[in-house]
Amino acid sequence: MKSRGRAGGSKASGSNRKGVRRGAAGGTVWRRIGGRGRWWTRALRWTLALLAAWVAACLLSLVLMKWVMPPVTMVQAQRRVESWFAKGKYEKRREGAALRRISPQLQHAVIAAEDGRFYQHHGIDFAELGKIYEDVVEDGEGLRGGSTITQQLVKNLFFTTHGNPLRKAAEFGLAPAADWILGKQRVLELYLNVIEWGPGVYGAEAAARYHYRTSAAALSRDQAARLAAVIPSPRRRRPARMDRYAGVIERRMAAMGW
């Protein structure tokens, strides 16, 4: 009877040890799962914190740009880096000009060409986006750009020319803020001073001198329309070849009362 008791006790003890081992193994698995969960949580927190810091930096930059012209933009930096791997010499031409020193003809031509409802929307032209949606979905037309001047300014300041959904989402968030912080006239002034108008040519003053050997203030109506016509592809297009599109822009200007 005693030996049976000892045997029963041994079996019970072995079962207890196995149960302890299983419990320990189960606890290790849950600790590993919990550790992974904590890693993802930390990564998400860091990502959100960095995103918030970047947005704050962009907003602070926009506030400063109410009074200060940015010394460089992301697109300009992109072109500089690209030049390191390209053939030929890269020469950057950039001259700042206050809006009052830029021909009204050029101001009107750029608005007519790039953002006809510039003074009606608040950074995002939802009416134009609706038209694009109808053209693509209902009429089967090809997708075309619907970026406003404010969105294009945001892209030039904070992003590169490489398109992706994240950039577009960021543009949608920052464009209304830029419109509110800067106001229409400052948005237009910054835009005309930072965008590309040829290989290494940035801003209206540099464009006028590079293409026409004159100042931005002295540009004629025809010259202004031709410069506005190259904006969608400034490194490939040349004002002298923009006869047809420049004519379209001039007709738009006339229809808008300019």
Under the banding of pLDDT at 50, 70 and 90, the label for residue 28 is low
Domain extents in the chain: 1-64, 70-255
Q: What percentage of the chain reaches a pLDDT higher than 70?
A: 81
Tokens found for residue 167: 């950039």
Alpha-carbon torsion angle 235, 81, 152, 181, nearest 10: -140
Judge contact between 111 and 225, C-beta under 8 A.
no
Judge contact between 112 and 228, C-beta under 8 A.
yes
Question: What does the pLDDT read at residue 103?
Answer: 98
Query: pLDDT digits over 33-69, tens only?
Result: 555 568 888 888 888 899 899 999 999 999 999 999 9
Under the banding of pLDDT at 50, 70 and 90, the label for residue 136 is low
Dihedral sign for Cα atoms in the order 184, 204, 248, 257: positive
- Architecture of domain 70-255 in this structure: Orthogonal Bundle (1.10)
Question: What does the pLDDT read at residue 4?
Answer: 47
Query: What is the C-alpha to C-alpha distance for residues 58 and 23, in angstroms, rounded to an integer?
Result: 52
Say if residue 30's pLDDT is above 50: no
Say if residue 18's pLDDT is above 60: no
Say if residue 79's pLDDT is above 90: yes
Query: pLDDT digits over 182-219, tens only?
Result: 999 999 999 999 999 999 999 999 999 999 999 999 99
Question: 209: Cβ–Cβ under 8 A, 6 or more apart, which residues?
Answer: 93, 95, 215
What is the value of pTM for the model shown? 0.82
Say if residue 107's pLDDT is above 90: yes
- How high is the mean pLDDT of the chain? 86
